Amino acid sequence: MHIVFAASECVPFAKTGGLADVVGALPPELVRLGHRVTVYLPLYRTVRPFLPESYEYAIRSVTVPFPHYNRFAGVVDGGVRDGVQYYFIDCPELFDREGFYGPRGAGDYGDNAERFGLFSRAVLEATKQLGVPDVFHVHDWQTAVLAVLLRSVYFFDPVLRNVGVVLTVHNAGYQGWFPPRTTELLLLPWEMFTFDKLEQNDTFNFLKGGAVFCDYMTTVSPTYAQEIQGAEFGSGLEGIFSRRHWDLRGILNGVDYSQWDPASDGHLAAHYSADDVAGKLECRRDLLHAFGLEQVAETTPVLGIVSRFATQKGFDILAAVADQLAEREMVLVALGTGEPYYESFFRSFAARYPGKVAVEVRYDDALAHKVEAGADIFLMPSRYEPCGLNQIYSLKYGTVPVVRATGGLEDTIEEWNADRRTGTGFKFSGYHAGDFLWAIDRALWVFANDPEGWKTLMRNGMGQDYSWEHPAREYVEVYEEVQRRRG
Ligand code: ADP
């Protein structure tokens, strides 16, 4: 089977979050299972360093029409990596910019509808010359619009009309809302701007369009697939998600253990594994040093956070108990970047408790690995979490997660049971600061008072296997189902 991925992020070329990890890791796994996979990405500024000095255009120019002008995009041959063919859509006036979706810290670019509309159309055009797939796999709002185009203005295309589309919703909280005139901008008929198709609260909603017009939808965990069918997590699209629940499946993300395994992780001061965790102590020292926290007793647990600093991630309930938490025997290190409100919360938290709380406000992959390895406890109090990767990395690194029981956090972490010696972490359900603190306290208690139990907890986590092979097979089932339906 030939699957074409159209996505706005992909490791190592462009990443802001888990979407990039999935688009980076799933295609090579599908290739290992015997399929042909092509990945299309915008040629962002961050992609340029990956191109050879004299790179080739697979197509010099595809024409993408807009109401009063045409744009012309090149398709750069990004070569083959791990069996996956990469192409980059080159339209410098739209993609050669500082950010992927907006200038740093200043919201979104005003022309995002045009940028991702152009990208999706250029992908459709490119595949007609470079290889028509059996299935398109699109991701989140940015490329959901490909499904809309395919089932409307491309409806009669003899080459593309029978190709299926799978939409993966990595985060239903981001939908791509644009003004109604976007309908005209993308040369779609106004009849499509209705509540049963593209319209939502008088906006043109990219994700909704994808959800309506794709053949099949997946989300990144089974619990999240249930949650988005309700008002709290569906963010206004719960109607379409629940109406199409037969075409909606939760497939838990895998993680890339070639990058995230303490036995081989190149970012760490020492290596360790479930059989011999001695190296973790060295990683802990290295981590504390990196955060400028010296002379921390070995009996003091290190709490770690690596996250986008966004409302979704639940730091308002951390803020509500920050001072109580600081009274506990612990140190806290946090790495993240994002909304100014949370950046300043973390900065002021660290300023109030020097030597005890430290924060690095930046994006730093190497440091993220050090936190996973060097911390004893990992905090993820997310308000909602479609899948979440960091808690899965934490398991592998013997860093015990304390999580809110939502989405993928609910599916991947099992509550510690002291009697049966089962479980991999600590969970709380209600979105309440007190419940979060209580879950942290349970973790701190086991760390301080039950060292054997703590070792078992670590080992239980390190023994979990979230490699990509199993989810990749589930995606193949979905692609096959779509192919069957399209005949
Ligand atoms: P989301 O996609 O909602 O941001 P995930 O847990 O699915 O959350 O994925 C987050 C990914 O981004 C992980 O690989 C994590 O290590 C990485 N990450 C997030 N913030 C940072 C940061 N400040 N520095 C380095 N890596 C980060």
Superfamily of domain 279-462: Glycogen Phosphorylase B; (3.40.50.2000)
pLDDT in the model for residue 487: 80
Residue 298 Cα to ligand 1 midpoint, Å, equals: 28
Q: Which of 307, 343, 360 to mutate to test ligand 1, by most ligand atoms within 8 A of the CB atom? A: 307
Regions of the chain with pLDDT less than 50 = none
pLDDT tens digits, one per residue of 386-429: 999 999 999 999 999 999 999 999 999 999 999 999 999 999 99
Beta carbons within 10 angstroms of residue 122's beta carbon: 26
Rounded CA-CA distance 414/412 in Å is 7
Tokens linked to 130? 């470079």
Nearest residue by C-alpha to atom 17 in ligand 1: 17
Residue 467 Cα to ligand 1 midpoint, Å, equals: 18
Q: Does this chain's domain 2-254+468-486 share its CATH topology with 279-462?
A: yes
Locate the ligand 1 atom nearest the alpha carbon of residue 390 and give its number.
6
pLDDT tens digits, one per residue of 336-360: 999 999 999 999 999 999 999 999 9
Residue 225: phi and psi, rounded to 5, are: -60, -35
Locate the ligand 1 atom nearest the alpha carbon of residue 380 and give its number.
6
CB under 6 Å to ligand 1: residues?
A: 17-18, 21, 306-308, 335-337, 363-365, 368, 387-390
Residue 311 Cα to ligand 1 midpoint, Å, equals: 14
Residue 385 Cα to ligand 1 midpoint, Å, equals: 12
* Domain-wise residue ranges, the chain: 2-254+468-486, 279-462
Residue 127 Cα to ligand 1 midpoint, Å, equals: 31
Residue 306 Cα to ligand 1 midpoint, Å, equals: 7
The bridge status of strand 2-6 relative to strand 36-42 is parallel
Looking at domain 2-254+468-486, which of 3.40.50.2000, 3.40.190.10, 3.30.410.40, 3.20.20.70 is its CATH number? Answer: 3.40.50.2000
Rounded CA-CA distance 438/143 in Å is 41
pLDDT in the model for residue 104: 73
What pTM value is reported for the model? Answer: 0.94
Tokens linked to 452? 């054997």
- Listed in sequence order, the residues at least 6 apart from 92 whose beta carbon sits closer than 8 Å to its beta carbon are 43
- How distant, in Å, are the alpha carbons of 31, 316, 330, 349, 426 from that of 443? 41, 20, 11, 21, 7
pLDDT in the model for residue 433: 98
Rounded CA-CA distance 348/350 in Å is 5
Cβ(422)–Cβ(397) below 8 Å = no
Beta bridge partners of 308: 337
